[in-house]
């Protein structure tokens, strides 16, 4: 137990140090968002039916797949730190489990699990809820750890990396399209029975009088702990690429050499294998899910979705390669950006075209729009990926220094996720003009798509190249130290100095303001005016006739207020700073 | 004669810590220059700024008269660099890294193939033909980095801790190569905190302490009648470290 307490204190100390600065803001915003979700969960516990069981199932899924998309989960204390201590694996696992309870996410999880107290069916069961909460949280945390460890093992071989990418893509697409399956199985308004019996529901069963749930959780925790301990012993050492066949390099000049280097990296780096397989699986499965309902219109969009996802996954292109940028700095004029663009296009392009043609053949069209989107997005992606990665580089751990968790390419996992979302939106935007032309004028769109694609490829690549030439040493310094060089004039995007609480409010307003304003406000209002009622998750369409307009307008107002607050607080702080 | 490397007033501050405080150094052509200093004294920062990998707050550096920051194309052609602890294109084999870099340097395909063959064999990396750089040991990494520095036949080598974690046999090979390079008219700057090594190899030495040059010049002038180690401790040490013991041993 002494080891566990020491580790927990160690983690607490690290967290205390990281509370300062941007990371602290990120933690605070994440924590606040988590608290909102936790409050929602507790609210569901008051409702009739299996709503709480469903919410807990979603929490469990979040614990399992969340780390996959946010850089390998909480790695504040890495197992490698303790490899020289000679602890037996199960003791190491147990101690790491205890320390895993220290942090923002577990606290938020525990608060959400307070819903179990609400759901308790008798005063005795309310007492039972206390151990049930702790056990349930342990189940979540351990499932998360085991999932990450399993994926880590999978990413040591190419087959594993591709398999994991496939599985993750399918799971995420399934979540995105869950409503399709809900409708298909005719359970739009009901929670399926089996949800109660998932491990996420065992705590709930216990507080409803079925104490077997507690015992089952204890057994599961023991099993998971044993599995995790076993996996930890296999984790030591860096991930190894599996490839052994070496084709000789046939490049004749600098640019071809960059392409050759990049193509070899794409095929040999298992993390990149995983990213691309994930993007492909996501695109294909997301677009084909509505086939369950007999609706085929989405299928041809598999290729465009794949391209956007691939760009998002690879948007930290320079960051992932780490400090090897020094070689490009020592060889000025070596057209590193152009080579990387070409390699990206050669890697993503053929697959995208193949998927586009195959899927459109199945549905018999619309050829013009899909080919337009494919051309425009490929060019946009090949232009934006290097541009984003030099302008918004997220410093990563050098490949040769990464630990036993191959998903962990950077210490700034939040920033990586943000970068991926940014890339997704921007790449989608590069496709918009040509797609609009194709919708209006048919085949003219393909010409427009080729033109905007080529323009993006050329122009954005040029911008990236210029930036790299001008700020290369600064980027290298950032990658070397993880710190941004202090610039004398603050960036326009940087928040001015203000109290942490205000920063948090501003972040939340910016991140979440769009939801009330657009889908729940503007879009819902359009639906109400068109008489489209009871429409998926647009709240206003479910209201009583007299409440529909007020609810939609209320959301618009809420969204506007959030953006207004997000602008006003920094403005006031800036003015204060200028005056002081 | 133009200096192989001329550094004037280089300075760099990180936050409120001054890493390099107006350093001046002159590396004459044909010299083997050793830069010594404690950990964190500013050796790596100085060398990074001198070759164009880190932008200085002030000051300038010239390689054979070409300004590293205003005329980087010319200056960087003349220098080969071995940085400490930076990544390589990790998913390539040693041969692929060198081929890639040679082509990037604008050499013809044939010249690259010839030089790569010779470098791999002299540095004894040809037995690991199918190994990716990410799988290399620390010593092998130093050797492949040295090969990348030598590939384009530079006139100046700037090597940051080239012997750290290198086994004695490989170290002997590297020493032979470096001595041959200087004998052929090349110039070398290397940083190290192993005094014996610097005494054995170098004819010039610069002592860096807390971001400043504590002493610089010909080896004999700097060390005088003492050994370099004694002179170094005298220059940078507080004088008491040697007498401190550990209470529990």
Q: Assess whether pLDDT exceeds 50 at residue B67.
A: yes
Q: pTM of the full predicted structure?
A: 0.74
Q: What is the pLDDT of residue B139?
A: 83
The total of other beta-carbon atoms located within 10 Å of residue A192's CB is 13
Beta carbons of A250 and A263 less than 8 angstroms apart: no
Q: How far is A580 from chain B (nearest CA, A)?
A: 23
pLDDT (tens digit, 9 = 90+) per residue, A348-362? Answer: 999 999 999 998 888
With beta carbons under 8 A apart, name residues in chain A contacting B109. 251-252
B213 in reach of chain A (CB within 8 A): no
Q: What is the pLDDT of residue A487?
A: 46
Sheet holding B17-27, edge to edge: B17-27, B5-14, B58-63, B66-67
Q: Do B130 and A253 touch (CB under 8 A)?
A: no
Rounded distance between C-alpha atoms, residue B186 and residue B184, angstroms: 6
Beta carbons of A132 and A116 less than 8 angstroms apart: yes
Mean pLDDT over A335-353 rounds to 91
pLDDT (tens digit, 9 = 90+) per residue, A389-413? Answer: 888 888 777 777 776 566 666 666 6
Q: What is the pLDDT of residue A408?
A: 64
Cα-to-chain-centroid distance, residue A231? 24
Rounded distance between C-alpha atoms, residue A565 and residue A505, angstroms: 8
Rounded distance between C-alpha atoms, residue B47 and residue A567, angstroms: 45
Q: How far is B239 from chain A (nearest CA, A)?
A: 32
The DSSP bridge pattern shows strands B79-82 and B32-36 to be: unpaired
pLDDT (tens digit, 9 = 90+) per residue, A464-510? Answer: 998 888 888 888 888 888 765 444 444 444 556 666 667 777 777 77
Q: What is the pLDDT of residue A75?
A: 65
A322 in reach of chain B (CB within 8 A): yes
Q: How far is B89 from chain A (nearest CA, A)?
A: 6
pLDDT (tens digit, 9 = 90+) per residue, A285-306? Answer: 888 887 877 778 888 899 999 9
B8/A527: higher pLDDT? B8
Q: Assess whether pLDDT exceeds 80 at residue A245.
A: no
Residue A155 φ then ψ, to 5°? -75, 5
A158 in reach of chain B (CB within 8 A): no
Q: How high is the ipTM of this complex?
A: 0.89
3-state DSSP of A17-33: HHCCHHHHHHHHHHHHH
The total of other beta-carbon atoms located within 10 Å of residue A126's CB is 15
Rounded distance between C-alpha atoms, residue B60 and residue B67, angstroms: 7
Rounded distance between C-alpha atoms, residue A491 and residue A27, angstroms: 22
Q: Do A331 and B15 touch (CB under 8 A)?
A: no
């Amino acid at each position: 137990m002494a080891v566990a307490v020491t580790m927990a204190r160690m983690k607490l100390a690290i967290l205390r140090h990281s509370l300062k600065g941007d990371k602290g803001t990120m933690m605070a915003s994440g924590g606040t968002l988590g608290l909102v979700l936790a409050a929602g969960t507790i609210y569901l516990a008051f409702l009739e039916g299996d709503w709480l069981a469903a919410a807990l199932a979603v929490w469990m899924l979040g614990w399992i797949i969340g780390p996959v998309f946010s850089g390998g989960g909480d790695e504040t204390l890495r197992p490698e730190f303790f490899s020289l201590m000679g602890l037996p694996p199960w003791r190491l696992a147990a101690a790491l489990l205890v320390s895993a309870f220290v942090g923002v996410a577990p606290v938020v999880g525990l608060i959400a699990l307070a819903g179990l107290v609400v759901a308790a069916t008798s005063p005795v069961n309310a007492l039972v809820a206390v151990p049930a909460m702790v056990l349930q949280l342990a189940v979540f945390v351990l499932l998360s750890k085991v999932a990450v460890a399993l994926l880590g093992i999978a990413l040591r071989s190419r087959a594993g990396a591709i398999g994991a990418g496939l599985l993750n893509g399918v799971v995420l697409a399934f979540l995105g399209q869950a409503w399709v399956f809900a409708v298909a199985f005719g359970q739009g308004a009901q929670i399926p029975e089996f949800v109660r019996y998932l491990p996420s529901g065992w705590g709930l069963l216990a507080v409803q009088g079925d104490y077997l749930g507690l015992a089952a959780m204890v057994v599961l925790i023991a099993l998971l702990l044993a599995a995790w301990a076993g996996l930890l012993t296999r984790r030591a050492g860096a991930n190894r690429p599996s490839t052994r066949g070496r084709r000789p390099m046939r490049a004749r000049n600098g640019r071809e050499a960059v392409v050759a280097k990049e193509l070899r990296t794409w095929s040999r780096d298992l993390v990149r294998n995983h990213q691309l397989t994930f993007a492909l699986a996501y695109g294909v499965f997301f677009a084909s899910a509505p086939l369950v309902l007999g609706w085929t219109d989405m299928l041809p969009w598999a290729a465009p979705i794949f391209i956007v996802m691939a760009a998002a996954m690879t948007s930290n292109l320079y960051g992932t390669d780490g400090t090897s940028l020094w070689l490009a700095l020592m060889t000025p004029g070596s057209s590193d950006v152009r080579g990387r663009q070409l390699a990206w296009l050669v890697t993503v392009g053929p697959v995208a075209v193949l998927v586009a043609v195959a899927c459109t053949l199945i549905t018999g069209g619309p050829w013009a729009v899909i080919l337009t989107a494919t051309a425009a997005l490929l060019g946009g992606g090949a232009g934006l990926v290097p541009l984003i990665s030099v302008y918004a580089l997220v410093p990563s751990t050098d490949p040769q220094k990464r630990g036993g968790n191959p998903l962990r390419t950077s210490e700034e996992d939040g920033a990586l996720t943000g970068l991926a979302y940014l890339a997704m939106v921007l790449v989608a935007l590069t496709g918009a003009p040509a797609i609009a032309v194709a919708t209006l004028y048919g085949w003219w769109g393909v010409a427009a798509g080729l033109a905007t694609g080529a323009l993006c490829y050329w122009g954005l690549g040029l911008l990236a190249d210029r930036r790299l030439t001008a700020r290369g040493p600064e980027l290298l310094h950032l990658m070397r130290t993880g710190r941004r060089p202090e610039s004398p004039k603050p960036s326009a995007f940087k928040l001015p100095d203000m109290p942490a609480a205000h920063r948090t409010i501003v972040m939340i307003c910016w991140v979440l303001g769009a939801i009330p304003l657009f889908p729940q406000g503007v879009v819902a209002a359009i639906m109400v005016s068109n008489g489209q009622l009871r429409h998926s998750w647009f709240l206003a369409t479910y209201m009583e006739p007299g409440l529909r307009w007020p609810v939609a307008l209320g959301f618009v107002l809420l969204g506007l207020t959030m953006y207004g607050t997000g602008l006003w607080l920094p403005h006031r702080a800036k003015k204060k700073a200028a005056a002081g | 004669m133009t200096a192989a490397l001329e550094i004037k007033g280089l300075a760099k501050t990180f936050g409120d810590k001054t890493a390099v405080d107006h350093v001046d150094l002159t590396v004459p052509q044909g010299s083997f220059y050793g830069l010594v200093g404690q950990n964190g004294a500013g050796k790596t920062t100085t060398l990074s700024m001198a070759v164009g990998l880190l932008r200085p707050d002030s000051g300038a550096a010239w390689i054979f008269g070409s300004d590293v920051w205003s005329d980087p194309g010319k200056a960087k052609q003349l220098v080969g660099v071995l940085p400490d602890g930076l990544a390589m294109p990790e998913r390539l084999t040693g041969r692929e890294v060198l081929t890639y870099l040679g082509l990037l340097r604008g050499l013809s395909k044939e010249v690259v193939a010839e030089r790569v063959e010779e470098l791999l064999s002299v540095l004894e990396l040809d037995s690991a033909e199918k190994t990716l750089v990410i799988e290399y040991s620390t010593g092998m990494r130093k050797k492949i980095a040295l090969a990348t520095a030598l590939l384009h036949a530079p006139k100046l080598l700037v090597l940051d801790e080239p012997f750290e974690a290198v086994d004695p046999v490989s170290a002997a090979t590297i020493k032979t190569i470096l001595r041959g390079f200087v004998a052929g008219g090349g110039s070398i700057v290397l940083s190290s905190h192993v005094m014996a090594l610097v005494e054995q190899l170098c004819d010039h030495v610069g002592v860096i302490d807390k971001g400043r040059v504590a002493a610089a010049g010909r080896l004999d002038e700097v060390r005088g009648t003492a050994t370099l180690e004694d002179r170094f401790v005298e220059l940078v040490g507080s004088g008491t470290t040697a007498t401190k013991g550990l209470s529990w041993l």
